[in-house]
Structure 1
Amino acid sequence: MFRRRPPLPPFPSGALLVGGAARDWLRGVAPKDFDWAVPDPAAAARQLAQQSGGAVFPLDEGRGYWRVMDPGGVQHDLVPRPADVIADLLRRDFTVNALALTEARQVLDPAGGQRDLRARRLRMVSAANLRADPLRAWRAARFEVTLGFRLEPASEAAVRAVAAELTSGTLPLPAPERVREELHALLAHPDAARGVRRLDTLGLLALTLPELREGQGLVQGGFHHLDVFDHNLEALHQLLARRPDAALPLRWATLLHDVGKPRAYATDPETGRASFHGHDRLGAELTEAILTRLRLPAEDVRRAARLVGAHMVHLPAGEKEARRFVHRRRELLPDLLSLMLADREAARGPQSSPASRQAYAQGMERVLAALDAQPAPPRPLLSGEDVMALLGCGPGPRVGAALRALAEAAALGEVQDSQEARAFVAAWAAGQDPDPPAVTTP
């Protein structure tokens, strides 16, 4: 039932190919990364690097862990070969990972992993192994999605038991960095939304993203046909259907874009209608807190939070407004449009009509046209020193405000050269423009 098995690189001397690489090869999938158990990891690493022209470096010299990165991006991890290979395999998480392959293509399979591969079944080696490293519970949800397998009942019960022990504090929570890597492996898959839902049914989402679960059962009405939780998941699904190349900050922002709604929820005392005013701002704050807790890089946290904070901005009704939209939010484009479209496509409530969807699409087309017409911001027409001389002041907030107003005027085509720029700043300073562009950061 599996595809023809792909070729393998030359085995280092005395090596076993173990774990996920052996599993993937057996099911006809070319491994992306190779895990080797070898008698001498340092020597084997140098051998692999010489063969491939890759770079070699130690991961943990004291424990004998080495890594080789091939020029094509293929990764080889090398660890000492255990004295008892079978016992080592039986300490692994799932039977489909408790496999090893010799250079002669002999399969070591002490837990019946090949049978489970054929049945597309995810079965634990033992409940004790899951408890020994609780991160394996998250891995179960990830493997169900990325491998297309299904947890068999006893293993699912064991995963739920681990989640319960983690919740009660009987077991210690895995390090946030390790949980983050499992979540990122899940979010990288086209069916990531189903994986997030599976984390919830297994009792793991409450340990990971409790803020996201606050939207369960919170009915929105209007444009929406789903509760807040399901709408967030559907938006992620819609995003990945259109942007399979979406970067992780955009994926996170889409999943969390309405995470602020439960805490912003209010009811009009006269009409009884629900409102969520300020949920975009609150959502940006929660997104920053969530992703910081998971130890994402600061720049990824910042971008995801800014996308969430900007997702409710109105689309432009005309060409000039489109140029202003691009100027003010250039750093977030085109990701912001992808998030907004996913949000809209995940809402099919009674107020969502073909006409409203068409108007939304036209607004996006205006932004894209303005972005195409001006893919990079125009070169500054005046320097800070020029503006200070015109205003007769030193550095300070007023200079920055003038420069921002001038930059927007240039982006809108209202100012073409330095002479017009000087006149604009003079008029701005004299208050001749009663409503200067107020640039805000989403």
Structure 2
Amino acid sequence: MLVGGAARDLVRGGLPKDWDWAAPQPKAAAETLTAHLGGAMFALDEVRGYYRVVSGHEQHDFVPLPADLNADLRRRDFTVNALALHPDGQLSDPLGGERDLKRRLLRMVSAENLRADPLRLLRAARLSLTLDLTLEPATRRTVMALAASGLPLPAPERVREELHALLLHPQAARGILLLEELGLLALYLPELREGIGLEQGGFHHLDVFRHGVEALHQLLQRFPAAPLDLRWATLLHDVGKPRSRSQTGGEVHFYGHDRLGAEMSRRMLDRLREASALSERVGRLIAAHMVPLPADERAARRFVHRRRDLLPELLSLMLADREAARGPLSSEASRLHYAQGIDRVLAALEDQPAPPPPLLTGQDIMALLNLPPGPGVGAAVRALNEAAALGDVATPEQARRWLLAWADSAPTASPED
């Protein structure tokens, strides 16, 4: 029989993403399904009889059929998950989960069940968002009380998966606000809360925290298929502002918040055991989000050359940031100017979707400039590559003449990385 979230999704009229089965002989049932669907079968816990079948995008988990089904369902987190669908179509629903689904309510089975696994507090926010259910008042109060009670935190990997599911939802910004309302943001992303009440002025009409949430909303309104790294970067792009705030006279500054925010975001995502590649990319997007947009075609080519591997995601982040501001200094003219800068970058990227091939090798450059191996060679390579991207050189001979002039005028020069 189908149990838990899989039964819930079928009762709601949808198809489960993950199928959870209870069977008298789970191994035999998993083997039968593998033979039917193909894919791979493996044991999650051979002693307890837990097996998983993965076929394409489908995942099927098999566990032993409980001796007392209703008792097993009463140990679940929420009533909408305390459901079991029998092969004959009969529904076991000892706690009124089907009724709660119809009323669009997310109601806990008990406070003790939530306390037994603190991840269920985070799941309350995620299910409320992704299933579009309202938290029943007593459940909301219980989640808030348990969040403030000092329960041990779940494993970071489990937290990460819940946050992924929330961030990948079209209404992820609303989900972040719900985390704050329930007291969960303080447990898992406390750095974000440092921006609550921190006013910015200028182009901004929201405090730092609300601005980040609004930027995420603006991003998903324009780019609903935005990948996870871009969603993280947009939410966290100003996380460094509270710690970089300074004041000169009556003017508030946030100098270096982009670099500090990049460092903070990496630490936050590392804490969640995010993949290092994702954490690094989020940091690089945040570090670059304040770079001025180009004012002409040549500057646009330079912009593309220096940040090609961050494009076009960086532009999406910058646009979401700009559209989330709308403060007293914002105007239609300033928005048009910003849009023109983005268009220049997109045109340059379309004109040169890949970097030009190298005109000289490192060995060529070392011989030409009489350089030993070391940083000087790297600086010369970067300078020449940028000159080629800008169209200043197009042949090996032009590259040699350009490099000799470059070395004479600025022998220690190194273009911005």
| TM-score above 0.5 | yes
Quote the offset at 1:54 in angstroms: 2.0
Match of 1:384 in 2: 362
Match of 2:2 in 1: 17
The question of 1:205 aligning with 2:188 is answered no
Structure 1 residues without counterparts, runs of 5 or longer: 1-15
SS at match of 2:264: helix
Give runs of ≥4 in structure 1 deviating > 4 Å: 433-437
Match of 2:212 in 1: 232
| Separation in structure 1 between the aligned mates of residue 200 and residue 45 of structure 2, nearest angstrom | 52
Match of 1:251 in 2: 231
TM-score (norm 1): 0.92
SS at match of 1:430: helix
Match of 2:312 in 1: 334
| Separation in structure 2 between the aligned mates of residue 79 and residue 35 of structure 1, nearest angstrom | 8
Match of 1:5 in 2: none
Quote the offset at 1:218 in angstroms: 0.7
Could you tell me whether the CA contact under 8 Å between 2:160 and 2:272 is conserved in 1?
A: yes
TM-score (norm 2): 0.98
SS at match of 1:105: coil
Alignment of 1:184-203 (within 5 A): 184-203=164-183
Deviations 1:232-285 (A, max 9, x none): 00000011111111111111100000001111111112xx01111111011111
Deviations 1:337-381 (A, max 9, x none): 000000000011110000000000000000000000111111111
Could you tell me whether the CA contact under 8 Å between 1:261 and 1:279 is conserved in 2?
A: yes
| Separation in structure 1 between the aligned mates of residue 413 and residue 336 of structure 2, nearest angstrom | 32
> Residue 58 of structure 2 aligns to which amino acid in structure 1?
V
Match of 1:6 in 2: none
Worse-superposed segment, 55-64 or 313-322: 55-64
Match of 2:379 in 1: 401
| Separation in structure 2 between the aligned mates of residue 303 and residue 62 of structure 1, nearest angstrom | 41
Quote the offset at 1:436 in angstroms: 5.6
> Residue 439 of structure 1 aligns to which amino acid in structure 2?
E
SS at match of 2:13: coil
Quote the offset at 1:430 in angstroms: 2.1
Deviations 1:1-60 (A, max 9, x none): xxxxxxxxxxxxxxx101111101101111121011112222211111111122222222
Match of 1:3 in 2: none
Could you tell me whether the CA contact under 8 Å between 1:64 and 1:79 is conserved in 2?
A: yes
The question of 1:156 aligning with 2:140 is answered yes
Could you tell me whether the CA contact under 8 Å between 1:405 and 1:439 is conserved in 2?
A: no
| Separation in structure 1 between the aligned mates of residue 129 and residue 147 of structure 2, nearest angstrom | 19
Task: Decide which of 82, 89, 99 is 1:105's aligned counterpart.
Answer: 89
The question of 1:438 aligning with 2:415 is answered yes
| Separation in structure 1 between the aligned mates of residue 26 and residue 274 of structure 2, nearest angstrom | 31
Match of 2:284 in 1: 306
Alignment of 1:256-335 (within 5 A): 256-269=236-249, 272-335=250-313
> Residue 390 of structure 1 aligns to which amino acid in structure 2?
L
SS at match of 1:148: coil
Work out the number of aligned pairs and report it.
Answer: 417
| Separation in structure 2 between the aligned mates of residue 44 and residue 367 of structure 1, nearest angstrom | 56
The question of 1:84 aligning with 2:68 is answered yes
SS at match of 1:410: helix
Match of 1:96 in 2: 80
| Separation in structure 2 between the aligned mates of residue 303 and residue 65 of structure 1, nearest angstrom | 37
| Separation in structure 2 between the aligned mates of residue 63 and residue 226 of structure 1, nearest angstrom | 52
The question of 1:54 aligning with 2:39 is answered yes
SS at match of 1:76: strand
Percent of pairs with identical residues: 65
Task: Decide which of 321, 328, 348 is 1:350's aligned counterpart.
Answer: 328
Quote the offset at 1:392 in angstroms: 1.7
Could you tell me whether the CA contact under 8 Å between 2:379 and 2:414 is conserved in 1?
A: no
Task: Decide which of 130, 138, 144 is 2:122's aligned counterpart.
Answer: 138
Quote the offset at 1:421 in angstroms: 1.2
| Separation in structure 1 between the aligned mates of residue 48 and residue 406 of structure 2, nearest angstrom | 67
Quote the offset at 1:304 in angstroms: 0.3
Could you tell me whether the CA contact under 8 Å between 1:219 and 1:226 is conserved in 2?
A: yes
Could you tell me whether the CA contact under 8 Å between 1:93 and 1:136 is conserved in 2?
A: yes
Deviations 1:60-91 (A, max 9, x none): 223322211223x1111112222211111110
Change (3 A) 1:174 1:34: same
Quote the offset at 1:435 in angstroms: 10
SS at match of 2:148: helix
Match of 2:405 in 1: 427
Match of 1:122 in 2: 106
Quote the offset at 1:164 in angstroms: 1.2
Could you tell me whether the CA contact under 8 Å between 1:408 and 1:437 is conserved in 2?
A: no
Could you tell me whether the CA contact under 8 Å between 1:226 and 1:347 is conserved in 2?
A: yes
